[in-house]
Amino acid sequence: MLAIFVIVPLLIGAAISAILKGYEKLISKIALAMSLVSMLFAFYLFALSPGNQNIPWFTLSGYIVHISTTLAPLHILLLLIVAIITPLVMLYSIGYMRLPSEQGRFYFELSIFSAAMMLFSIASNLITMFIGWELLGLTSYLLIGFWNRKENAMKASLKAISTILIGDILVLMGIVILWTAYGTFNIAYIAGAAHKGIAVEYALIFIIFGAFTKSAQFPFHEWLADAMEGPTPVSAFLHSSTMVKAGVFLIALILPLIMSYNLGYILIIIGVITALVGALNALSETHIKRILAYSTIEDMGLMFVALGFNSLFAAIALFFVQTFYKAELFMSAGYMMKANNDEENINSIYGPGRFKELMIPTIIAAASLAGIIPLSGFFGKAAVDSAVSNVYVYAMLVAIDLLSAAYIFRWMFIPLKKNGPRTSYERVPREMLIPIYILAIMIVGASVIYFMLPSYLGVAPISANYIHDAILLASAIIGIAVAYFSFYKSTATKSLNIIYTRRITNNFYALIVTLFTHIAGAVEKIDSALYGFIKDGSIGIRYIGSRLSLIENGKIDYYLIAFITGLTVIIVVFMVF
C-alpha cells in the first residue's frame, strides 16, 4: 500500500508535536522537516504512478470494505498541490507563531489537517474519501478556534463545524444510497455507471449540497468568512489547497454521473450566485483577511459554474492556479498585520509602500487574481469564461471579473495610501517572507504548467477564444482603474455597505435557528401533553382495575350479581340498537 505512506511523515510529525514539551523551536523544525519528506514522497509517487491499491478493512453483509487509494492524474494533481503548500505554510508558521506555549498544539493540528487532505486526495472509494472528509472538518474546527480564549474564535469554529456537519450528513446519505444502488464504493465505477432511477438522483443532490457546505457556497458561505478568526497560516492553507476545495474535488470526481442526470443547472445557479455574493462582499469588507475569504468564496463559485457546464478542465485549471495566488495573498496579509501590531482593518494598516520586498510579490498575486496576462490567474479565469455557453451566465461572469479586479486592488490601494516607517516591516520575521517569494515564482510558473494540464489529465483543452480573453483583460484593467481612482486617489474610506450581504445572511441564519427552536419547543410541548395524557390514562385504568379486582373475592353471590348485571346491559343494548 505504497501511496498511503505519503501521510506517515506528517503523522509522525504530529505525534512528536504532541509528545515534546519544552522544545518549542525543535517542534516547528521537525514539523517542517516531516512536511518536506511527505512532499518528496509525493513527487516520487508522481514519477512512479503505482495505480490503485487496497487494504481490506472490515466485512459488511459479505461485502469487503477497503481502504483504497489511487494515483490517477486528477488525484495526484491535488496530492502535489497539498504537498507543495504544506511545507511553505510550515515555514511561514515558524515566523508567524511565536507563542512557545502554543507550538505543540498548533503543529499537531496543522500536520493532521494536511494528512487528512492528502488522504482525501488519493482516496479511490467513498469510504476512504469520507474518512479524509471528516478529518478535515474536525481539524478545521480545531484550527479555526485555535485562539480558544477569544470568544469570536470559538463562535467561528462552532459555526464552521455546525454548517459542515449538515453537509456531512447529506454526503453520508448519498454514499449509502449509491452503495445500495451500485453495490460498490469505488468512485471511478460510480462516476461512469448507468442510471439507477430516482434514488440515485436524490443521492447526487445530497452530495452536491454537501459539497456546497464544504466549499462555502451560498447560502452556506458565511462560515468561511468567520473562519478568519483562526491563525493566518491556517487561513492560507484552508483557502488555497485544503478543505474548501474538497467539495469541488468531490463533484469533479463524479461529474459524469451528475451530468447524465442533467443536474449541472444546480451547480451553475448556486455557483453564479455565490461568485456574485463573494465579489460584492469583498468589495465592501474592511477586514484584511475577510476580503480574501470572500474572494475564495467567489473562486469556488466559478469552479462550480465550470463543472455545471461539464468543463472539467476549466474547473481544474482555476482550481490549480488559484492555489498559489491565494496562498500568497493570505501570507502577505499576515505580514502586513504583523508589521501593524496585528491590525486587521485595511483603513488602519500602513501598506508596504516603502518595503519593496513584500510589495513586488503581493502585486504579482493581486494581478494574477485580477486576471492580468500572462500570470496564471488570467488563464484560469479565461478557461472558465470560455467554458460558459450561456450568454446570460457569461455576462454575469464578466461583471464578476471586473468586480474581482476592483476589490483586490482596493485591498492593496487603501493600505498603500499610508506609508509608515520601513522599520515596522523589517521587524517581521524573515521566515515569513521566503514562502511569499516562492509562491510568487509559482504564480508565474503555473502559467506554463496550465498548458500541460490537458494532456496530463487526459481531457480536452478549452479552445482559445480571443474575444473572451480580450474582454477578461479589459474587465481587469477597468476594475483596477476603478479601484485606483475610487480608493487610492480618493480620500473617501467609507465601505459600500449597500451591497454588503454579511449581516443579511447571518440574520437569515439566526432566523432559521429561531424557527427550528420554536418548532422544537412546540414538539416538546406536544410530547409533554401526550406523555401527560398517557400517564394520567394509565393511572385511571390502573385505578379502575384495582376497583374491579375487589369483586374477585371467591364469593358466588358476587359473581351471580355481576353475571345478571352484564346480561341486562347486553339485552338493553340490543333492544336500543
For the entire predicted model, the pTM comes to 0.88
* 351 touches 288 (CB < 8 A): no
Residue 224 Cα to chain centre, angstroms: 8
pLDDT tens for 72-104 read 999 999 999 999 999 999 999 999 987 777 788
Lowest mean pLDDT among 292-306, 366-380, 423-437: 423-437
Instruction: Please answer whether residues 59 and 65 qualify as being in contact, where contact means their C-beta atoms are separated by less than 8 angstroms.
Output: yes
User: pLDDT (tens digit, 9 = 90+) per residue, 447-473?
Assistant: 999 999 998 888 877 877 889 999 999
Task: Give the SS3 label for residue 67.
Answer: strand
Q: Is 60 exceeded by the pLDDT of residue 320?
A: yes
With a pLDDT cut of 70, the percent of the chain lying above it is 94
**Is residue 404 within 8 Å of 371, Cβ to Cβ?**
yes
Residue 425, pLDDT above cutoff 60: yes
- 303-314: average pLDDT: 96
Is residue 554 very low, low, confident or very high in pLDDT (cuts 50, 70, 90)? Answer: low
d(CA 145, CA 105): 12
pLDDT confidence band for 195 (50 / 70 / 90)? confident
Q: Say how many C-beta atoms besides its own lie within 10 A of residue 168's C-beta.
A: 18
Which residue carries 482559445 as its cell? Answer: 464
Alpha helices by DSSP H, 242-390: 243-253, 255-260, 264-284, 288-308, 312-339, 356-370, 376-387
Q: What are the residues whose beta carbons fall under 8 Å from the beta carbon of 241, sequence distance 6 or more?
A: 78, 81, 82, 85, 117, 323, 327
Helix (H) or strand (E) holding 550: none
| 377-to-166, 317, 443, 471 alpha-carbon distances in Å | 32, 9, 8, 15
Q: Are 229 and 153 a contacting pair, CB within 8 Å?
A: yes
* 419 strand-pairing partners: 351
Q: Are 187 and 126 in contact (CB under 8 A)?
A: yes
Residue 530 scores a pLDDT above 90: no
- pLDDT of residue 247 exceeding 70, the answer is yes
Average pLDDT on 20-41 reads 90
Q: What is the pLDDT of residue 98?
A: 78
Q: What's the pLDDT band for 493 if we cut at 50, 70, 90?
A: low
pLDDT tens figures, 332-387: 999 999 999 999 999 999 989 889 899 999 999 999 999 999 999 999 999 999 99
CA-only gyration radius of the chain, Å: 30
Burial bucket for residue 430 (CB in 10 Å: 0-12, 13-18, 19+): exposed
What type of residue is 225? Answer: A
Is 106 a residue whose pLDDT tops 80? yes
pLDDT digits (tens, 9 = 90+) for 123-138: 999 999 999 999 999 9
- pLDDT tens digit sequence for 272-294: 999 999 999 999 899 999 999 99
Residue 520 C-alpha cell reads as 422544537
Mean pLDDT of the region 484-489: 87
Q: What confidence tens digit (pLDDT) does each residue in 158-176 have?
A: 999 999 999 999 999 999 9
Query: Is residue 498 over pLDDT 70?
Result: no
| Mean pLDDT (whole number) for 24-33 | 90
> Is pLDDT of 396 > 70?
yes
Neighbours of 147 (CB within 10 A): 17
